[in-house]
């Protein structure tokens, strides 16, 4: 019985131990980017469409590469006038069509069958300007299925975007982002 248990564990764990350049590929229909902007009159909630995401990572090192790309003009808050202003004047989507995060490294463990919290360090690009950022992420992996969730703040005014305030309606200078990425992990093994 002990031999069978040891053999089963070996068969399950060996592919993970030798895996390199594993790739997380996004299911854009199941993924979302949500924003929350506090103002003096209301809390503005909105969503953006994740255009693409492919992240490579190595379980035996902290290396990570790839990008999460969001369509800048896809923002929806439930108010067409506000959405047009956000798209045209604030995010300048006619000139800067995407917002992206390109991870470079992570700390923590990405398990093959469990959940964990990692910190991902990379470059957040907004209005074509790069900003270094570390984002804590909750990861849930079940073999090839994976979900990554993050909650973080973007200091959009500090990073060069206009504050949408006018008259008595004042908006904060930071926006809260809730990211939910759902997709598949493919494990590349060395021989």
For the segment 41-52, the average pLDDT, to the nearest whole number, is 95
- Predicted local distance difference test score (pLDDT) of residue 155: 98
Angle (CA) 43-51-71 rounded to 5° is: 50
- Could you give all domains of the chain from N- to C-terminal order, each with its CATH number? 2-186 (2.40.128.110)
pLDDT at 55: 94
pLDDT at 8 over 70: no
How many angstroms from the chain centroid is the CA of residue 59? 19
DSSP bridge partners of 129 = 126
DSSP E strands: which ranges in 27-174? 32-38, 43-48, 50-57, 64-71, 98-107, 113-126, 129-142, 145-154
Only one residue has tokens 């990570």, namely 64
7 has a pLDDT exceeding 60: no
Q: pLDDT tens across 125-182, in order? A: 999 999 999 999 999 999 889 999 999 999 999 999 999 998 899 999 999 999 999 9
């Amino acid at each position: 019985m002990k031999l069978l248990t040891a053999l089963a564990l070996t068969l399950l764990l060996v592919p993970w131990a030798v895996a390199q350049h594993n790739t997380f590929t996004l299911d854009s229909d199941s993924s979302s980017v949500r924003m929350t902007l506090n103002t003096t009159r209301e809390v503005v909630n909105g969503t953006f469409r994740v255009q693409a995401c492919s992240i490579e990572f190595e379980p035996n090192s902290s290396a990570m590469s790839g990008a999460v790309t969001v369509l800048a003009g896809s923002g929806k808050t439930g108010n067409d006038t506000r959405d047009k202003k956000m798209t045209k004047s604030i995010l300048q989507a006619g000139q800067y069509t995407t917002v992206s995060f390109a991870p470079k490294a992570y700390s923590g463990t990405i398990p093959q069958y469990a959940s964990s919290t990692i910190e991902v360090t990379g470059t957040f690009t907004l209005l074509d300007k790069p900003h270094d950022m570390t984002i804590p992420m909750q990861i849930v992996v079940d073999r090839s299925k994976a979900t990554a969730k993050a909650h973080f703040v973007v200091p959009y005014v500090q990073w060069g975007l206009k504050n949408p305030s006018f008259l008595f309606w004042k908006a904060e200078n930071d926006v809260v982002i809730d990211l939910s990425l759902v997709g598949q992990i493919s494990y590349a093994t060395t021989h």
